[in-house]
């Protein structure tokens, strides 16, 4: 067991060093693919072995593992402080020095260095390892051909891929270490490693805008690091242990401990880019697409929601729990509203990611078995669909030179495979019986007792339909029978097809995923599995029956449309006689002038202007966070 756990954490780090030190594209390709395959098999093997109690980790080269983590903690803070000096950021310098000073006091004055089991494997940890290892590996494999095309576009004389894959793979190891940690100091170390990796990857291209956004990401997440250290200190002062399992078993233990957990949740908020911290994740869109996919689906932001969800038993039944739920629900509806006014595909995905993370955090705050089930199901299905969509946008951008959804209009005519996969990805985020929608139904059912939360969830869900349906509709078009087939690199096609199939197949298997992986988390599971449906006292979600109906509908639609390629395509009629010989819909307008036909979406900029709404939402979010921490006190 210990060897398998260390493989999941250390193999990506070793592979990262190989990619950096051996400057051969063939070796790098082989290393990334092999590492992805081994991580996938190791995560499945860990899942097959099942949960395990907290275990000790021995020494490394004769050095205590806990002491090694302490040394690495301060070394990591030193590296972050160096980049604060390099970029002349007083915020990075200040937050890093604050962490170092607090950590010195905590490590050398407050705590008794009693051996604590370092790693643990409960159901949540095993699910997170699977998400990180499988989806993260597919993204890394996708990055191999993508980064070659990316650097060809930039006309780089010297490839930066060795450094890029160094931090991409290191990210996976850090995330596996984070979700398996049982010692809170280990959790903090891996938490900060993800901060450094995200900074390096966001600023990878080295442009002024990339550097500026990477610096913002670093100082915001360094602020989260300060909150994490304060939270650790307060919790330890009350409970007297670094053992996360013991902390969770103790439950809420008075104002000091709950306040400490509140600061840990605040650290999770910054990492998960919750309002008002969303700007760092939006700025991360300047990075190459594999970075965006990794940050949004299986690593950085999932670290944030994991921390909030992991410590949920320690604030159950408190005002802090209500505050977390309200803050998450507010982010859900606020970012859904901000998404309405966007036409940039990556920005739509970024805002929708923050919105869905808010929903997961809201479920953690509701803190019931039903809400926890919704949160974990959202983590699984959101990671699959969102990583797929980010990779699709990256593929589309390299194909047409734009990520604006208006420029993607009619994409199916020239790039049918990519367009179809993108549409399927959007539908898995939008419609029943797919997993994301099922998890949202669970969340709304779980929030029924809190009128403020359920109103925000209902509003956010309604707004979600607008931006997803608008995008999917833009991609659809007819295609000539003799049109050439779309060409895709093998390592582009495989991740796209795998994630697309995963989003559909795992949605069909959702009842059995729940029954085998989530139900064991609870003494009284909230759902029962009946005829392919998840049934509870609050209602039922007929997964398999709905998929049967959907399948029959698709077959009927395909049969009905089987002769469409033989039909004569007519231009649209708008407001005048069509121009003779023009099949694009141009018509004769005033003064007999030719008026071109133009179709575009409505973005309601006067109502959902990002520049106007963001300051208001940020101010409200700050007030809610202050009230949340005040409730803890």
pLDDT on residue 563: 61
Domain boundaries, the chain: 319-521+611-633, 556-595
Those residues whose C-beta lies under 8 Å from the C-beta of residue 322, and which sit 6 or more positions away, are: 365, 450, 631
Those residues whose C-beta lies under 8 Å from the C-beta of residue 554, and which sit 6 or more positions away, are: none
Distance (Å, rounded) from C-alpha 343 to C-alpha 3? 47
The CB density around residue 40, as the number of other CB atoms within 10 Å, is 17
Judged against a pLDDT cut of 60, whether residue 548 lies above it is answered with yes
DSSP state of 518: I
Lowest mean pLDDT segment, chosen from 55-69, 352-366, 429-443, 489-503 = 55-69
Judged against a pLDDT cut of 80, whether residue 508 lies above it is answered with yes
Token pair listed for 389: 């969509």
pLDDT on residue 30: 95
pLDDT on residue 17: 95
pLDDT on residue 577: 72
Lowest mean pLDDT segment, chosen from 278-282, 421-425, 470-474, 616-620 = 470-474
CA distances from 412 to 1, 389, 402, 454, 477 (A): 48, 16, 15, 38, 6
Residue 298's closest CA among 123, 168, 429? Answer: 168
Banded model confidence at residue 574, pLDDT cuts 50, 70, 90: low
| Three-class DSSP labels, 114-167 | CCCCCEEECHHHHHHHHHHHHHHHHHHHHHHHHHHHHHHHHCCCCCCHHHHHHH
The per-residue pLDDT for range 390-427, each reduced to its tens digit, is: 999 999 988 888 888 888 887 888 888 898 899 999 99
Angle between helix 90-105 and 65-86 (nearest 10): 160
Mean pLDDT of 365-373: 93
Q: Judge whether 518 and 444 are in contact, CB under 8 Å.
A: no
Cis ω for the linkage preceding 276 (within 30 of 0)? yes
158 or 375, greater pLDDT = 375
The per-residue pLDDT for range 221-247, each reduced to its tens digit, is: 999 999 999 999 999 999 999 999 999
Cis ω for the linkage preceding 433 (within 30 of 0)? yes
The region, left, alpha or beta by phi > 0 then psi within -120 to 50, assigned to residue 367 is left
pLDDT on residue 315: 93
Judged against a pLDDT cut of 70, whether residue 177 lies above it is answered with yes
Judged against a pLDDT cut of 60, whether residue 481 lies above it is answered with no
Token pair listed for 205: 């291209």
How many Cα atoms within 13 Å fall on the side-chain side of residue 281? 31
The per-residue pLDDT for range 251-268, each reduced to its tens digit, is: 888 889 999 999 999 999
The CB density around residue 93, as the number of other CB atoms within 10 Å, is 19
75 or 300, greater pLDDT = 75
Judged against a pLDDT cut of 90, whether residue 334 lies above it is answered with yes
Beta bridge pairs of residue 63: 60
DSSP state of 523: S
Lowest mean pLDDT segment, chosen from 252-261, 272-281, 475-484 = 475-484
Q: Report the predicted TM-score, pTM, of the whole model to 2 decimal places.
A: 0.93
Token pair listed for 179: 């979700």
Taking CA 102 as the corner, what is the angle to CA 623 and CA 227, rounded to the nearest 5 degrees? Answer: 25
Those residues whose C-beta lies under 8 Å from the C-beta of residue 376, and which sit 6 or more positions away, are: 124, 127, 309, 518, 521
Beta bridge pairs of residue 587: 578, 595
Judged against a pLDDT cut of 60, whether residue 444 lies above it is answered with yes
42 or 589, greater pLDDT = 42
Q: Judge whether 137 and 40 are in contact, CB under 8 Å.
A: yes
Three-state DSSP class for residue 289? helix
Judged against a pLDDT cut of 80, whether residue 583 lies above it is answered with no
Q: Judge whether 261 and 632 are in contact, CB under 8 Å.
A: yes
Percent of the chain clearing pLDDT 70 (strictly above): 95
Distance (Å, rounded) from C-alpha 631 to C-alpha 324? 10
Q: Judge whether 36 and 141 are in contact, CB under 8 Å.
A: yes
565 or 585, greater pLDDT = 585
Percent of the chain clearing pLDDT 90 (strictly above): 61
Judged against a pLDDT cut of 90, whether residue 599 lies above it is answered with no
Mean pLDDT of 533-547: 87
pLDDT on residue 565: 57
Distance (Å, rounded) from C-alpha 104 to C-alpha 70? 10
- What's the Rg (C-alpha) of the chain? 25
Banded model confidence at residue 338, pLDDT cuts 50, 70, 90: very high
Token pair listed for 522: 């609870």
Q: Judge whether 533 and 392 are in contact, CB under 8 Å.
A: no
Helix (H) or strand (E) holding 301: helix 300-310
pLDDT on residue 272: 93
pLDDT on residue 23: 87
The per-residue pLDDT for range 23-46, each reduced to its tens digit, is: 889 999 999 999 999 999 999 999
Strands 528-530 and 119-121: unpaired
Lowest mean pLDDT segment, chosen from 160-174, 541-555, 562-576, 617-631 = 562-576
Banded model confidence at residue 484, pLDDT cuts 50, 70, 90: low
pLDDT on residue 201: 94
Query: Is the dihedral angle over the CA atoms 286, 494, 43, 3 positive or is it negative?
Result: negative
| Mean pLDDT, all residues of the chain | 89
Mean pLDDT of 566-577: 64
184 or 63, greater pLDDT = 184
pLDDT on residue 473: 83
DSSP state of 62: T
Q: Judge whether 330 and 620 are in contact, CB under 8 Å.
A: yes
Banded model confidence at residue 12, pLDDT cuts 50, 70, 90: very high
Phi, psi of 407 (to 5 degrees): -75, -15
Angle between helix 416-430 and 451-475 (nearest 10): 160
Mean pLDDT of 96-113: 92
The per-residue pLDDT for range 374-383, each reduced to its tens digit, is: 999 999 999 9
Three-state DSSP class for residue 470? helix
Token pair listed for 23: 């400057």
Those residues whose C-beta lies under 8 Å from the C-beta of residue 61, and which sit 6 or more positions away, are: none
Distance (Å, rounded) from C-alpha 19 to C-alpha 183? 30
The CB density around residue 82, as the number of other CB atoms within 10 Å, is 13
Mean pLDDT of 328-356: 93
Banded model confidence at residue 573, pLDDT cuts 50, 70, 90: low
């Amino acid at each position: 067991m210990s060897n398998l756990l260390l493989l999941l954490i250390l193999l990506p780090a070793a592979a990262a060093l190989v990619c950096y030190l051996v400057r051969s594209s063939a070796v790098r390709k082989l290393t990334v693919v092999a590492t992805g395959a081994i991580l996938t098999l190791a995560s499945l093997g860990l899942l097959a072995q099942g949960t395990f109690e907290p275990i000790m980790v021995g020494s490394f080269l004769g050095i205590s593992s806990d002491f090694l983590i302490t040394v690495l903690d301060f070394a990591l803070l030193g590296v972050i402080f160096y980049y604060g000096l390099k970029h002349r950021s007083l915020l990075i310098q200040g937050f890093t020095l604050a962490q170092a000073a607090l950590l010195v006091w905590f490590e050398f004055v407050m705590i008794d260095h009693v051996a604590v089991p370092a790693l643990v494997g409960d159901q949540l940890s095993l699910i997170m390892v699977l998400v990180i290892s499988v989806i993260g590996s597919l993204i890394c494999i996708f990055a191999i051909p993508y980064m070659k095309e990316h650097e060809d576009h930039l006309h780089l004389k010297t490839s930066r891929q060795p450094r890029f894959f160094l931090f991409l793979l290191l990210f996976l190891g850090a995330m596996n270490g984070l979700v398996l940690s049982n010692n809170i100091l280990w959790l903090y170390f891996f938490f900060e490693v993800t901060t450094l990796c995200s900074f390096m990857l966001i600023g990878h291209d080295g442009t002024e805008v990339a550097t500026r956004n990477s610096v913002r990401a670093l100082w915001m997440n360094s602020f989260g690091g300060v909150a994490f250290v304060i939270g650790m200190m307060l919790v330890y002062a009350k409970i007297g242990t670094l053992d996360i399992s013991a902390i969770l078993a103790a439950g809420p233990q008075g104002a000091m401990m709950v306040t400490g957990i509140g600061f840990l949740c605040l650290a999770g908020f910054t990492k998960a880019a919750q309002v008002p911290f969303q700007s760092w994740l939006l700025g991360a869109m300047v990075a190459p697409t594999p970075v965006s996919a990794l940050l949004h689906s299986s690593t950085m932001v999932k670290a944030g929601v994991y921390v909030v969800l992991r410590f949920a038993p320690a604030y159950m039944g408190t005002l802090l729990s209500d505050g977390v739920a309200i803050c998450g629900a507010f982010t859900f509806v606020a970012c859904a509203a901000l998404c309405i006014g966007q036409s940039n595909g990556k920005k739509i995905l970024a805002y929708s990611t923050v919105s869905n993370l808010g929903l997961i955090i809201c479920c953690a705050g509701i803190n019931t078995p039903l809400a926890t089930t919704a949160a974990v199901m959202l983590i699984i299905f959101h990671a699959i669909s969102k990583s797929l969509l980010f990779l699709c946008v990256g593929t589309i951008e390299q194909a047409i030179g734009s990520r604006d959804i208006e420029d993607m209009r009619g994409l199916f005519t020239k790039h049918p495979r990519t367009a179809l996969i993108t549409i399927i990805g959007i539908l898995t985020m939008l419609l029943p019986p797919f997993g994301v929608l099922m998890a949202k139904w669970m969340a709304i059912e779980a929030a029924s007792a809190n009128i403020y939360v359920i109103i925000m969830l209902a509003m956010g869900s309604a707004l979600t339909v607008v931006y997803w349906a608008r995008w999917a509709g833009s991609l659809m078009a007819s295609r000539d029978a003799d049109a050439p087939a779309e060409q895709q690199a093998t390592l582009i096609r495989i991740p796209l097809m795998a994630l697309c199939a995963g989003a559909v197949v795992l949605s069909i298997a959702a009842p059995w995923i729940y029954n085998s992986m989530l139900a064991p988390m609870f003494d009284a599971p909230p759902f029962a599995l009946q005829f392919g449906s998840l049934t509870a006292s609050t209602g039922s979600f007929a997964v398999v029956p709905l998929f049967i109906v959907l399948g029959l509908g698709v077959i009927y639609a395909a049969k009905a449309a089987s002769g469409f390629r033989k039909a004569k395509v007519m231009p649209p009629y708008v407001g005048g006689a069509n121009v003779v010989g023009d099949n694009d819909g141009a018509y004769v307008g005033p003064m007999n002038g030719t008026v071109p036909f133009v179709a575009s979406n409505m973005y309601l900029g006067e109502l959902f202007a990002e520049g106007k709404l963001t300051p208001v939402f940020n101010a409200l979010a700050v007030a809610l966070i202050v009230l949340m921490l005040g409730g803890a006190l």
